[in-house]
Amino acid sequence: MEQLKPDLLLLQEVIEPVRFSTSARWRVAWSNAEAKGEKLAWGSAAMSLGPGAIAIDLPQFSGWVSALELNEFTGPDGNARRIRIFSVHAPSGAGSYPKVVNSILDTIAPFSADCDVIVGGDFNLTVGARHVSEARKTSRADQQVQERLRDEFGLMNCWQAANPDQALPQTLRWAKEPTFPYHCDGLFVPVSWREHLRACNVVSGPEWNAFSDHNPVVAEFGKFARTD
């Protein structure tokens, strides 16, 4: 948090953020994830700097999907608007991951009609388009999830938009295959933000590896420079 100085954070498999976020400026939605009827020590968190944030209750996926409504969020174009952010972690054991993610999107859909939406996190499926030359292939079910985020929700994949025509980088260092380029973590924002996207990177290295087996996806936006 000190190095990247984010305005918004979408975290998964994280302990209660109040234990590591000491700034009173952070607004947080978090709860324990549950598995097999038991509460786990971690959950997903949606976090925003500044006032005016309200937690959104999503009981169907409590602890797996956390959300905040920001009533006066200043977007990359400099205009204030209502925005809702969703931190997603697709749970295992509830069916195939595409089926689970589609159920999560069904839950989010009613909240996307009258505002901008950001959806990000660990989807446990491939969230970007792969080149034919890449060793790992993407299932049709995973592609349909990507298409739904684009066509139904009007969202773009930040990494793909900022890094066109590049092979997908690894975001998951799975213990069984730590070098395989799994790309299951993504950040999706409104397509209208494309012209303001400066960069999107998958952060890796020894410092991050000590925290998690996932590499963070970090997007940077700048204000639109108007020309007449």
Q: What is the DSSP string of 182-199?
A: E--EEEEEEGGGGGGEEE
What's the first-to-final CA gap in the chain, in angstroms? Answer: 38
Give the pTM: 0.92
Using CA atoms, how far apart are residues 73 and 75, in angstroms rounded to an integer? 6
Is 128's pLDDT higher than 80? Answer: yes
Question: What percent of the chain is predicted at pLDDT more than 90?
Answer: 58
Mean pLDDT for all residues in the chain: 88
Task: Give residue-wise pLDDT tens across range 149-169.
Answer: 999 999 999 999 999 989 899
Is 67's pLDDT higher than 80? Answer: yes
Q: In the chain, what are the domains? A: 8-218 (3.60.10.10)
Integer angstrom CA distances of residue 95 from 35, 67, 148, 208: 14, 23, 19, 30
Q: Which residue has the higher pLDDT, 228 or 64?
A: 64
Tokens of 4: 């990247």
Mean pLDDT, range 63-82, rounded to an integer: 87
Task: Give residue-wise pLDDT tens across range 171-200.
Answer: 888 767 666 778 999 999 999 999 999 999
